[in-house]
Chain A
């Protein structure tokens, strides 16, 4: 037969499935990903001879009588197909390879890998190619058919096998031309039937109802991480596992016992595995469902499957039996009863927000490849396989194939999204979970999994932490004795040697003893000067007591609560009057009485208060062991030593201040006061760091960028700076930050992580010489003697790539929350991973990557960070509802980095004005907890699951702010008008009035730096932040600029 016998090509409609595939195919950069490979293993002895000629002729006939293979596709006016003429056997795209028997297997595997690498031209065709590999001794032979997926599916393999069986043995009864016409007719009928059902109204209704349910399922992200690519080149790797025969029998027995199919069993287990690895409790697993409608189509090759999302809901406490025979079976029955709903229609209804070149509904697939049973084969085809073509169409794909009484599970994964270690972890979970599911159906789903190895949890950064003394106080005494004349504290006007510092601390300790302070007590510190603070800290520790920093800027009510909650009876300093505590000036405490040290390893070192969700802050009582460890680690990891000059930047109420002061002193270094530079004045800060040759600097993450930009803008080099530490919130780095470190190649950037309850516990170090820095910087590896357990949703230690909550152990946990056993027990508890110790449950979601590095992902609750300050939204809400007339308050957060701000939404009775609310909040909360915007709402919006919908509130706030009436502000002159414009731009508000403090518009220490920088650019006047802060209004700023211009 030749091409001339065939009429001009007729336009064929294509199915919805084909359309969907063609659209995706046109969007992917690597078009060969939809090349499907089928391998047909032959028994040469059962074929006619001569083998090569017989195969060539058989394949030409196969293409002739399988019209789907001859499709090519056009776009105009609509997506459609036409059929190419049947090929001539001599022109068939067929590569024939004869190899020695010893090389047969390797050659076949290699051809399997390469045959699919070249994309097809779908508009020109042909969209298939063959390879025939045979051993020269006639012992083995295989046909490989590579075709674009849009012309074939898994179910197509059986009709092809039936055709080949007859064509290779000359047993075809029909005439080829008759069969060609019959098959083309059947093909058209199937296409018509598919399109008729797809466009029916009933199908549309089904799709709409189904879509509603699918929208509630969260997206499944395997190996979640901030720098995860959104697009990939679809390069894939395959790993496999084959059950043994006993396991296959147990699978069958389980299915029989529960009355479910192997598909239900595998989908149920696979769903649980990907739910564990994706950290969700409901997943969509895509799976192809046979959707041929006409009887004639069962003899046809063609793309007639409908790939549909199977929802697997995972309740970790449910038993395997309940899971499989209940929700999983019901869901698969549902999909089967809705197999006529085309995937495209479903997608159109769900309208998911996913990258267009990936499957829009699911990222994981399960394909049952059980259409051919080789064990019953009597013809020449004795086995079939679908070799991987080295691509991955999905993030993860599992094919399940029955092979000689066993099940072979092939797992293909996208190499850009999932690393080999993570993929191995998934296959490990699949193996363990399946074995357990078929062994004991009474296990819960959580019990299908194992803990990952604790080796990763116990891995540290490798630095030493040699602690030379039992307490911080005794360590300091040793240092002071060995380097008495070295400078311990350097303030702008005064220096203290180690001998002077130790002498004063001992005298103040004697005074404290006179006030009855001893081990277990808490001493409040209300001091400004660095030297005084250092003396008071060391004196308190010498008494075996813990110090409590009291920041004068906090509301009096809050300070009183802190003092009382901590049981503090003595406050060193001035300006604070709290019932039940006596405030004593530091000078008045100095006593020459010889009082021996009462330093006590079991006592606390300090009490630091942090936001508490119930409306009251929590006081963390930190002990000696974690802090000794931190100090010793600082020596080896941060090179803190006698040459160190550590700038003291952090406010005393931040635990970072401890790390700046105490380890530096213990290791013989100098602590350099920040003053006279104001903390908010970056130009002054940069000058201070440069002038005092600071070697170590520790800033909140939010201050890193302003600081380095300021240094770059002022062209200030900091040649002494060696270690630049940051912490407080997620560190994001960009080219400008990197540029600073490129200019300071001797200086490392060290990202610290650690809640107040454990102090700093993990670090990630970045250096100029490193390869490109990831924008989202990991939190790194734990310090020595610190353990970090990532516990996933099943309660097990998470393998690499699986997100979970971070539990911190080893020596790191604090004693707990002071005088609050209930909240302490909730967060500090023995864990099964460390039976003899206490683990602190952080509430932080993290993932450990394949290099054991920890990556911070976010919070599992409503704790947020505002410019490095930890804020429990619940605390702001609770305090707001204390205002009479406020029925409900919801806090939310908007924006990123330094621009992040708090929003407060109020459901209130008429007559509650915002000034009253702000006044109440101001009297109880620190400045960083004040909302930037207060919005009245009638009711609190909720999501489908009944949770407060904060996203909707944030959107509402943006709308409110955009709709705020623009008041026509009045200014004294053009200068004020220009300055107001600069501020309005920085704060993204319509206008800034001349006499209203900019803080009320959302200004804070960091964007003040930006605004003043712009003022300097425009007017050439460097306004001092401190001067501006005295009355931060446009009017003040205008006066300062005028003065500068004089």
Chain B
């Protein structure tokens, strides 16, 4: 799937090591600030909102990708 590949390569720009979906975010060198940058990069619209309180629930690359996919396709809420 194209979107899947795109997300992997976007994440790879911020990650410090190679990873797969089960890799822990910290093991991949991704901290909360890089997660926000990733979100900014993939978000559908400048008006899209990030609920930063949800970042703490993200532990693996797989979870991150699910979240980013939602963000990328989300309708602008307001």
List the interface of chain A (C-beta within 8 A of B).
155, 182, 186, 189, 192-193, 255-256, 259-263, 289-296, 298, 333, 336-340, 370-371
Say how far A368's CB is from chain B's closest CB, in angstroms.
Answer: 9
A912 to B47 Cα, complex, angstroms: 75
Q: A336-B52, A337-B56, A340-B53 given; name 19 further pairs at CB < 8 Å.
A: A189-B78, A193-B49, A255-B26, A256-B27, A259-B27, A260-B26, A261-B32, A263-B31, A289-B52, A292-B36, A292-B50, A294-B50, A295-B40, A296-B46, A298-B37, A336-B56, A337-B57, A338-B53, A371-B33
> Are A337 and B53 interface neighbours, CB within 8 A?
yes
A296 to B49 Cα, complex, angstroms: 9
Q: Which residues of B contact A291 (CB under 8 A)?
A: 52
Say how far A261's CB is from chain B's closest CB, in angstroms.
Answer: 5
Between-chain CB contacts (< 8 Å), 12 pairs: A193-B78, A261-B26, A261-B31, A261-B32, A290-B33, A294-B49, A294-B50, A295-B40, A298-B36, A336-B53, A339-B53, A370-B33
A155 to B37 Cα, complex, angstroms: 11
Question: Which residues in window 21-78 of B have CB below 8 A to A?
Answer: 24, 26-27, 31-33, 36-37, 39-40, 43, 45-53, 55-57, 78
A261 to B56 Cα, complex, angstroms: 12
Partner of A294, one of B24, B32, B47, B55: B47
Say how far A701's CB is from chain B's closest CB, in angstroms.
Answer: 55
Q: Which residue of chain B has its CB nearest to the CB of A186?
A: B46
Contact A333 to B56, CB < 8 A, known contacts A292-B50, A295-B43? yes
Q: Which residues of B contact A338 (CB under 8 A)?
A: 53
Q: Which residue of chain B has its CB nearest to the CB of A182?
A: B46
> Are B26 and A336 interface neighbours, CB within 8 A?
no
Say how far A304's CB is from chain B's closest CB, in angstroms.
Answer: 11
Q: Which residues of A contact B26 (CB under 8 A)?
A: 255-256, 259-261
Number of B interface residues, CB 8 Å? 24
A957 to B40 Cα, complex, angstroms: 62
Q: Which residue of chain B has its CB nearest to the CB of A189?
A: B47
A453 to B55 Cα, complex, angstroms: 45
Q: Which residues of A contact B39 (CB under 8 A)?
A: 295
> Are A295 and B32 interface neighbours, CB within 8 A?
no
Q: Which residue of chain A has its CB nearest to the CB of B26?
A: A259
Say how far B66's CB is from chain A's closest CB, in angstroms.
Answer: 18
A339 to B55 Cα, complex, angstroms: 10
> Are A336 and B55 interface neighbours, CB within 8 A?
yes
> Are A295 and B53 interface neighbours, CB within 8 A?
no
A628 to B36 Cα, complex, angstroms: 72
> Are A259 and B24 interface neighbours, CB within 8 A?
yes
Say how far A815's CB is from chain B's closest CB, in angstroms.
Answer: 59
A262 to B47 Cα, complex, angstroms: 31
Interface centre among B36, B37, B56, B78 (most CB of A within 10 A): B56
Q: Which residues of A contact B46 (CB under 8 A)?
A: 182, 186, 294-296
A294 to B24 Cα, complex, angstroms: 26
Number of A-B contacts (CB under 8 A): 69
Partner of A295, one of B47, B55, B78: B47
Partner of A339, one of B47, B52, B57: B52
Q: Which residues of A contact B27 (CB under 8 A)?
A: 256, 259
A189 to B77 Cα, complex, angstroms: 12
A293 to B49 Cα, complex, angstroms: 5
Say how far B18's CB is from chain A's closest CB, in angstroms.
Answer: 15
Q: Which residue of chain B has its CB nearest to the CB of A291?
A: B52
> Are B40 and A293 interface neighbours, CB within 8 A?
no
Say how far A847's CB is from chain B's closest CB, in angstroms.
Answer: 38
Contact A295 to B48, CB < 8 A, known contacts A261-B32, A336-B32? yes
Q: Which residues of A contact B49 (CB under 8 A)?
A: 193, 293-295
> Are B45 and A295 interface neighbours, CB within 8 A?
yes
Say how far A268's CB is from chain B's closest CB, in angstroms.
Answer: 15
Question: Which residues in window 9-23 of B have CB below 8 A to A?
Answer: none
Partner of A298, one of B40, B53, B55: B40
Interface centre among A259, A262, A290, A294 (most CB of B within 10 A): A294
Interface centre among B27, B31, B37, B53 (most CB of A within 10 A): B53
> Are A296 and B33 interface neighbours, CB within 8 A?
no
A293 to B50 Cα, complex, angstroms: 5
A155 to B40 Cα, complex, angstroms: 14
Q: Which residue of chain A has its CB nearest to the CB of B39?
A: A295
Interface centre among A155, A336, A338, A340 (most CB of B within 10 A): A336
Contact A295 to B50, CB < 8 A, known contacts A290-B33, A370-B33? yes
> Are A290 and B36 interface neighbours, CB within 8 A?
yes
Q: Which residues of A contact B56 (CB under 8 A)?
A: 333, 336-337
Q: Which residue of chain A has its CB nearest to the CB of B54?
A: A337
A289 to B49 Cα, complex, angstroms: 17
Say how far B46's CB is from chain A's closest CB, in angstroms.
Answer: 4
A399 to B24 Cα, complex, angstroms: 27
Q: Which residues of B contact A186 (CB under 8 A)?
A: 46
Contact A296 to B47, CB < 8 A, known contacts A259-B24, A339-B53? yes
Q: Which residues of B contact A370 (CB under 8 A)?
A: 33
A296 to B45 Cα, complex, angstroms: 8
Say how far A340's CB is from chain B's closest CB, in angstroms.
Answer: 6
Q: Which residues of B contact A293 (CB under 8 A)?
A: 49-52
A155 to B51 Cα, complex, angstroms: 17
Q: Which residues of A contact B51 (CB under 8 A)?
A: 293, 340
Q: Which residues of B contact A255 (CB under 8 A)?
A: 26
Say how far B53's CB is from chain A's closest CB, in angstroms.
Answer: 5
A695 to B4 Cα, complex, angstroms: 94
Say how far B31's CB is from chain A's closest CB, in angstroms.
Answer: 5
A290 to B49 Cα, complex, angstroms: 14
Q: Which residues of A contact B31 (CB under 8 A)?
A: 261-263
Say how far B71's CB is from chain A's closest CB, in angstroms.
Answer: 8
Q: Which residues of B contact A333 (CB under 8 A)?
A: 56
Q: Which residues of B contact A261 (CB under 8 A)?
A: 26, 31-32
Q: Which residues of A contact B24 (CB under 8 A)?
A: 259
Q: Which residues of A contact B78 (CB under 8 A)?
A: 189, 192-193
Say how far A251's CB is from chain B's closest CB, in angstroms.
Answer: 13
A848 to B26 Cα, complex, angstroms: 43
Q: Which residues of B contact A296 (CB under 8 A)?
A: 46-47
Q: Which residues of B contact A182 (CB under 8 A)?
A: 46
> Are B48 and A340 interface neighbours, CB within 8 A?
no
A371 to B57 Cα, complex, angstroms: 22
A574 to B40 Cα, complex, angstroms: 94
Interface centre among B37, B45, B49 (most CB of A within 10 A): B49
> Are B40 and A340 interface neighbours, CB within 8 A?
no
A49 to B49 Cα, complex, angstroms: 40
Which A-B residue pairs are the 8 nearest by beta carbons? A296-B46, A295-B43, A336-B56, A298-B40, A337-B56, A333-B56, A337-B53, A295-B48
Say how far A1004's CB is from chain B's closest CB, in angstroms.
Answer: 60
Q: Which residue of chain B has its CB nearest to the CB of A298?
A: B40
A370 to B33 Cα, complex, angstroms: 9
Partner of A290, one of B32, B45, B57: B32
A333 to B27 Cα, complex, angstroms: 17
Q: Which residue of chain A has its CB nearest to the CB of B49?
A: A293
A298 to B39 Cα, complex, angstroms: 10
Q: Which residues of B contact A192 (CB under 8 A)?
A: 78
